[in-house]
Structure 1
Amino acid sequence: MKNFVQLHANDNIVIALINFEAGAIIKVGDKEIILKDTINFGHKIAIKEIAKKAKILKYGLSIGSATQNIVVGEHVHSHNLETDYLMTDPK
């Protein structure tokens, strides 16, 4: 059973299917990645270096931009990602 899922071949993140402790190792393709952070179920893990302002890809599409450099194995979430989706007032 896989502990993570990559939704598209072009994604630079995977989604955790379990809770991971910092230091855990996942294998993506032929690359072993050491997790830098504790990462909870459903959260994103960087599988490639992501430069500040670069797009974060999920489903092969941009879901946002990095607000700082993100290293392989780092947790990708609201602390280092700015969404591409605009929030509008439904009124």
Structure 2
Amino acid sequence: MQSSDDTDPRLMLLSPGDSVYVLRDQIATGETIRLQGRAVRVGQALGLGHKIARVVHAPGDKVVKYGAPLGTVTAPIAVGEHVHTHNLTSDYTVSHTLDPARGQAEGG
């Protein structure tokens, strides 16, 4: 687990090659945080354990967390943007959601 002096201390980098940071605390809507020396405005409130992009991701890119691919990007993701089911599909579940009803509707 790493953190950089020029990155908000509420963000942790779990592995040097990760493309996302994991939140270790909450960030409020509209708050400006530091990411690798750059000021980034957060567009929505985010809670503990959520991911934000460390690098720009294009559709088809892999999101890497703990040094392993977590999923595939479905929509462009800017640095500092929330990375979740609205722009990422899991490489480990049938669909990009864990909602049982939706998973069944998509071929479960």
Q: TM-score, normalised by structure 1?
A: 0.82
Q: Tell me what 2:97 maps to.
A: none
Which amino acid counterpart does residue 19 of structure 2 have in structure 1? N
**Equivalent in 74, 80, 83 of residue 67 of structure 1:** 74
Larger strand proportion of the pair: 1
**Equivalent in 29, 49, 62 of residue 56 of structure 2:** 49
Residue identity over aligned pairs, in percent, reads 32
Q: CA RMSD in A?
A: 1.8
Using the TM superposition, name which of 54-63 and 27-36 deviates more: 27-36
1:24: how far off? 2.2
Partner of 1:42: helix, strand, or coil?
coil
Q: What CA distance in whole angstroms lies between the structure 2 residues aligned with 1:45 and 1:62? A: 15
Instruction: Give unpaired runs (5+ residues) of structure 2.
Output: 1-7, 95-108
**Equivalent in 43, 53, 64 of residue 36 of structure 1:** 43
- Number of positions where the alignment pairs a residue of Structure 1 with one of Structure 2: 87
Which amino acid counterpart does residue 2 of structure 1 have in structure 2? P
Q: TM-score, normalised by structure 2?
A: 0.70
Question: Higher relative contact order at CA 8 Å, sep ≥6: structure 1 or structure 2?
Answer: 1
Larger helix proportion of the pair: 2
